[in-house]
Chain A
Amino acid sequence: MTPDEIRASRAAREKLAWLVLLALAVLVLPWHQSLPTGSTPLFPSALGLAAEGRGWLWPVVLALPLLVWAGFRDASSRLFLNIVLAGFAILVLQGFAVGLRGPAFDVLATVFPAAAQGQTGFGWGGFVAGLAFLGLIAHSLALRGFCRGDRFSATAVVFIVALLGLFVFFPILKLSMAAFVGPDGELAFGPFIGRVLAPEIWRLDCLTGGRRCGVVINSLMLGILAATISTALGLALALIVARTSFRFKQTLRALSILPIITPPFVVGVAIIVLFGRTGLLTQFGADVFDVRPTRWVYGLTGILMAQVLAFTPITFLVLLGTVEAINPTLEEASQTLGAGPVKTFFKITWPLLRPGIAAAFLLAFIESLADFGNPIVLGGGYEVLSTRIFFAVAGARYDLGHAATLAMLLLSLTLIAFWLQSRWLGRKSYVTVTGKSDAGLASTLPFGLKGVAWAVVIPFVIFTLGVYAVVLVGGFVHDIGRWDLTPTIAHLRTAFAFEVGTAGFEFYGSAWNSMKTTLLVSAIAAPLTTAVGIMTAWLVARQDFAGKNAFEFGTMLSFAIPGTVVGVSYVAAFNVPPVDITGTAAILVICFVFRNMPVGMRAGLAAFAQIDRSMEEASQTMGAGGGVTLRRIVLPLVKPAVFTALVYSFVTAMTAVSAVIFLVSARHNMATAYIMGRVEAGEYALAITYSTVLMIVMIVCIVLIQLLVGARKLGRRREFQGQITPAE
């Protein structure tokens, strides 16, 4: 066969596969998850239902013969593309037009009496039909030159856009609509305005003394304080590590991943154990100063402590990068021009650090706004947006409109912070790293500053050590809260007891259920997240298609949405047809995939920047399409990025709480939700034990992933980097 015939036959085979899939979806597979009331079709497929009087399904069914006809004439024609687009549009529209309780428009009810009975969410048939339509759209676009004619890339772009649309933008849209829904379910501006301007959101009473502030004010105050303190601490740590003869640099770097694998709540619990009303240090202070112990730590103070502990490692890493990127020759130049070390620091080093400091501050600020675990454990009466949103949905009074309004406020704040960050960094990035070697040594910190830095850092380090000591010990002693340090495995047994009986293992510890779900969901989500993330990075870095900038912006935007907002938006969007998936394990996986995908994407983008793209082009000119090139050339070369993405998405799925707390169900409970329940019940030791077990499991899994992905070929890559730029 000539290459030309091979090409033609491959394209034809793919087209046929999509058409067969579409046929399967509309003719055979059950269209809905469960049969709509009042229907008894012979086959529950779209065809069967349509024949039975649910006529609004006819256009979807009839698209099939039309597409077969047009597809065999010329799949690259405008006509074919138009039919597929129309088919897909109708599929989506009919899903929304006829809801669970009947049609959205009265016209439909008169044309199709059966519509009055409503329809349930998409089942296999609906989803597979959507899939097939999208595949045919991509196929047709590629034949028309989209993605340089590469069908694999075109398919990837179309599918990722559709998935982002369905699982990121559609929920947000649904949520913003929910913000405009009044108490009787009508769409109106009135309730929205009322909710947005409510005094409980904006009041400033706490500044004048007396009552509490509004919830937005609380969030902002917490965010600014947490960001300021953790940025200052991060800077002090970064300066000590980079600009003094500090010896434990690597140790500190390694330890900075601790907060990432620390499950939520456990730091909060440790703080309560230390500083709560019956806490160890509170009791000690009360004895020494002879005062009544109080609940002083609950509220702003406690949340701040926990957040500073969690965010300082992040600001530290950002600022360490900035400090190390400063070209030492600049400081040397300043000193040869006659400035002393102190003057050099403030005139040269400090201005160069400013963009990094701004970035670190905004990052911590955004994290603080999105944080849910710490405020809920340590907040007491101090309510922030994320906890208020949670209680509006999960509390005694279910009020989606209220939750949606608050979520829109939280989202706006976060987006503003992101916007500021990109603007600030866009304008003021002083890149002093060049390809040339930086001769010269970084100047050491002036003596006075060094003292200040140490004075700031030492209390923080002691505090961190104390908290982690409680976490490490607390799970395995009788009652750490009362300083009863008798070693015991009672808590472990409560959570993870099992017996080897005649029927094999019997797990009757109370935590097994959530542990199994967590591991399963994380293990499914991690590779999917990595695949979507790396794939998206590859499309952005290497492919050229119309609308690429919007595509990149959209993916990054999905990263900006706080977890709580994602959680509520999923509740708002996926509780009702056409996509009715709440209460399933699938929604948990989907939630993780689209929340963590941008991290895989960033790892991928960084990796692709290191790899000469002509290798992929070589593969293409040798006859490999996008898919083969990705599998045989790209992936072997970006293994480290794959590893990073896998580990990160796995760990985040294990420890995530803010979005997932809205989506867990009795059947599919997650570890973090279980721990939150134990904290609420005051069973701190059990919570700590479970957290410790989770951390151990995560470390074991990271090692396993490393072994699985393998570092076998990484050695070769290093050699190769010398090869693409021969020293001639």
Chain B
Amino acid sequence: MTDEIAIEFVDVTKNYGAAVAVDSISLSIAKGEMVTFLGPSGCGKTTSLRLIAGLELPTSGIVRIAGRDVSQRAASERNVGMVFQSYALFPHMNVLENVAYGPMIRGEAKATARARATEILEQIGLKGLSERLPSELSGGQQQRVAVARAIVQQPDVLLFDEPLSNVDAKLRRKVRGEIRDLQKRFGLTAVYVTHDQEEALAVSDRIVVMQAGKIAQIGTPRDLYERPASPFVADFIGDANLISGQVSKGRFVSADLDLPLAGADGQAQISLRPERIGLTPGDAGPVGTVRSCTYLGSRWEFEIETGFAELLASRPMTEAPIAPGTRVSLNIPDTAPIRVA
């Protein structure tokens, strides 16, 4: 069992003076898995990553990598690879020297280290650039060197700290695909930090959503989008309309909204995804008034005022626009509402 778990946090807390950056987190990451820490800035996701790297040591709790307790062990004495946001390539060494640095430091002969580095550089598509200085490479090439440098030592875990934030918006889709391919090809355990939910959904096996130093929810991308466990997760992953109301006898009621909803009676909050709200001009069922209608190229976006909330609705281009001020009736499928509180 233990050899299946690559990384384990047991009740890990990190304080900076009085401030709590990470608040008693426990989780485990399986070998070969790619897990993303996702959350707004200041939620503790980067600190969690640095706790795995050993660039921070926990105030309390245990961090295990490959079954070994490394809680009080320096970064240099763990076997991790890390790709930094700024790439952090050594400017006074060429590409080959950058990649061969790790193996050499860990005691390999210069020739062996260079051979290893050359091999990795070839596999990653950087053949012929060995003698270049980092300053002579494009941003994308620099990023690949950073990745090559991180995986050359076959680390127990590969860490990515917002690796795409310095990449051109258009290239991001391509580069994140490359990262995912690489992780699968080498069978690496990877932990990835980002604040971009779309990026997280695209690259992860599982996502850890963090909020104020705690884990809000862990799950597959689909879990999180379709079954958010809290209003925060619902709102952070994709767009969500959060509506408060009362549940009784299996129905959720808020003003003129009345939907079937399982679960205990009493106060409740549901999340409605904008694309699940249908609109037809008219007065039947729950109604609302269109406040604005925005053309977004791929779809229309409506702001609708209702008796229970301000709603955001999103409709495909195939439907006709509706002029502001129009009364509309809302068609909400029974499967659309997700209870989040």
Q: Is the CB of A728 within 8 A of B106?
A: no
Looking at B75, B86, B107, B142, the one whose CB has the most chain A CB atoms below 10 A away is B75
When chains A and B are docked, how far (Å) is the Cα of A3 from the Cα of B80? 10
If the complex has contacts A617-B55, A617-B84, A716-B91, are A7 and B75 also in contact, measured as CB distance less than 8 A?
no
Closest to A622 in B: B102
Closest to A143 in B: B72
Residues of B within 8 A of A637 (CB): 91-92
Does residue B265 face the partner (Cβ distance < 8 Å to A)? no
How far apart are A621's CB and chain B's nearest CB, in angstroms?
4
Interface residues of B in 135-187 (CB under 8 A from A): 135, 139, 142, 149-150, 153, 159, 166-168
How far apart are B54's CB and chain A's nearest CB, in angstroms?
7
Residues of B within 8 A of A623 (CB): 76-77, 102, 105-106, 153
Looking at B56, B71, B88, B106, the one whose CB has the most chain A CB atoms below 10 A away is B88
How far apart are B192's CB and chain A's nearest CB, in angstroms?
15
Does residue B53 face the partner (Cβ distance < 8 Å to A)? yes
Residues of B within 8 A of A1 (CB): 107
Does residue B213 face the partner (Cβ distance < 8 Å to A)? no
How far apart are B46's CB and chain A's nearest CB, in angstroms?
11
How far apart are A422's CB and chain B's nearest CB, in angstroms?
22
When chains A and B are docked, how far (Å) is the Cα of A618 from the Cα of B107? 17
Partner of B75, one of A620, A628, A722: A620
Does residue B251 face the partner (Cβ distance < 8 Å to A)? no
Does residue B312 face the partner (Cβ distance < 8 Å to A)? no
When chains A and B are docked, how far (Å) is the Cα of A716 from the Cα of B97? 15
When chains A and B are docked, how far (Å) is the Cα of A184 from the Cα of B320? 105
Closest to B16 in A: A544
When chains A and B are docked, how far (Å) is the Cα of A2 from the Cα of B55? 21
Residues of B within 8 A of A719 (CB): 91, 133, 135
When chains A and B are docked, how far (Å) is the Cα of A181 from the Cα of B74? 49
Partner of A148, one of B57, B92, B134: B57
When chains A and B are docked, how far (Å) is the Cα of A145 from the Cα of B69? 13
Residues of A within 8 A of B73 (CB): 7, 149
Does residue B127 face the partner (Cβ distance < 8 Å to A)? no
Residues of A within 8 A of B105 (CB): 619, 622-624, 628
Q: Is the CB of A726 within 8 A of B166?
A: yes
Partner of B77, one of A7, A618, A723, A725: A7
Interface residues of B in 91-113 (CB under 8 A from A): 91-92, 101-102, 105-107
Residues of A within 8 A of B53 (CB): 617, 621
Partner of B168, one of A142, A725, A728: A728
Q: Is the CB of B91 within 8 A of A621?
A: no
Interface residues of A in 282-337 (CB under 8 A from B): none
When chains A and B are docked, how far (Å) is the Cα of A143 from the Cα of B86? 30
Q: Is the CB of A622 within 8 A of B101?
A: yes
Residues of B within 8 A of A76 (CB): 72
How far apart are A234's CB and chain B's nearest CB, in angstroms?
38
How far apart are B96's CB and chain A's nearest CB, in angstroms?
14
Q: Is the CB of B86 within 8 A of A724?
A: yes
Q: Is the CB of B106 within 8 A of A723?
A: no
If the complex has contacts A3-B77, A6-B106, A621-B55, are A723 and B68 also in contact, measured as CB distance less than 8 A?
no
Partner of A621, one of B81, B85, B90, B168: B81
Does residue A633 face the partner (Cβ distance < 8 Å to B)? yes
Does residue A341 face the partner (Cβ distance < 8 Å to B)? no
Residues of A within 8 A of B168 (CB): 728
Closest to B50 in A: A617
Number of residues of chain B lying within 8 A (CB) of chain A:
43
Does residue A205 face the partner (Cβ distance < 8 Å to B)? no
Does residue B292 face the partner (Cβ distance < 8 Å to A)? no
Number of residues of chain A lying within 8 A (CB) of chain B:
45
Q: Is the CB of B134 within 8 A of A720?
A: yes
Closest to B168 in A: A728
How far apart are B110's CB and chain A's nearest CB, in angstroms?
14
When chains A and B are docked, how far (Å) is the Cα of A150 from the Cα of B80? 16
Closest to A144 in B: B72
Residues of A within 8 A of B107 (CB): 1, 6
Does residue B217 face the partner (Cβ distance < 8 Å to A)? no
Residues of B within 8 A of A619 (CB): 90, 101, 105
Looking at B77, B107, B134, B167, the one whose CB has the most chain A CB atoms below 10 A away is B77
Q: Encode contact with B along A603-647: 1 for CB under 8 Å, 0 otherwise.
A: 000000000101101111111111011001100110000000000
Q: Is the CB of A620 within 8 A of B74?
A: yes
When chains A and B are docked, how far (Å) is the Cα of A4 from the Cα of B101? 18
Q: Is the CB of B91 within 8 A of A723?
A: yes
How far apart are A612's CB and chain B's nearest CB, in angstroms?
5
How far apart are A416's CB and chain B's nearest CB, in angstroms?
30
Q: Is the CB of B88 within 8 A of A149?
A: no
Does residue A78 face the partner (Cβ distance < 8 Å to B)? no
Closest to A1 in B: B107
If the complex has contacts A148-B54, A623-B106, A623-B153, are A633 and B90 also in contact, measured as CB distance less than 8 A?
yes
Residues of A within 8 A of B86 (CB): 612, 614, 724-725
Looking at A143, A150, A617, A636, the one whose CB has the most chain B CB atoms below 10 A away is A617
Q: Encode contact with A along B113-147: 1 for CB under 8 Å, 0 otherwise.
A: 00000000000000000000111000100100000
Q: Is the CB of A620 within 8 A of B55?
A: yes
How far apart are A141's CB and chain B's nearest CB, in angstroms?
11
Residues of A within 8 A of B191 (CB): none
Interface residues of A in 142-187 (CB under 8 A from B): 142-145, 148-151
How far apart are A308's CB and chain B's nearest CB, in angstroms?
45
How far apart are A627's CB and chain B's nearest CB, in angstroms?
10
Q: Is the CB of B134 within 8 A of A614?
A: no
Q: Is the CB of B139 within 8 A of A148?
A: no
Q: Is the CB of B139 within 8 A of A726?
A: yes
Does residue A427 face the partner (Cβ distance < 8 Å to B)? no
Does residue B287 face the partner (Cβ distance < 8 Å to A)? no
If the complex has contacts A615-B88, A620-B55, are A150 and B74 also in contact, measured as CB distance less than 8 A?
yes
Provide a sorted-by-A list of 24 A–B residue pairs whose CB atoms are within 8 angstroms.
Answer: A2-B79, A143-B72, A148-B57, A148-B75, A149-B75, A614-B88, A615-B88, A615-B91, A618-B90, A620-B75, A621-B54, A621-B159, A622-B102, A622-B106, A622-B149, A623-B77, A623-B106, A624-B105, A716-B92, A723-B142, A725-B86, A726-B142, A728-B167, A728-B168
Contacts A150-B76, A621-B159, A720-B91 aside, 19 further interface pairs with beta carbons under 8 A come to A1-B107, A3-B77, A3-B106, A143-B72, A144-B72, A148-B57, A148-B75, A149-B74, A150-B74, A615-B89, A619-B101, A621-B54, A621-B55, A622-B76, A622-B81, A622-B149, A623-B105, A626-B76, A637-B92
9 nearest interchain CB pairs?
A: A720-B91, A622-B102, A149-B74, A145-B72, A614-B88, A620-B75, A719-B135, A618-B88, A7-B77
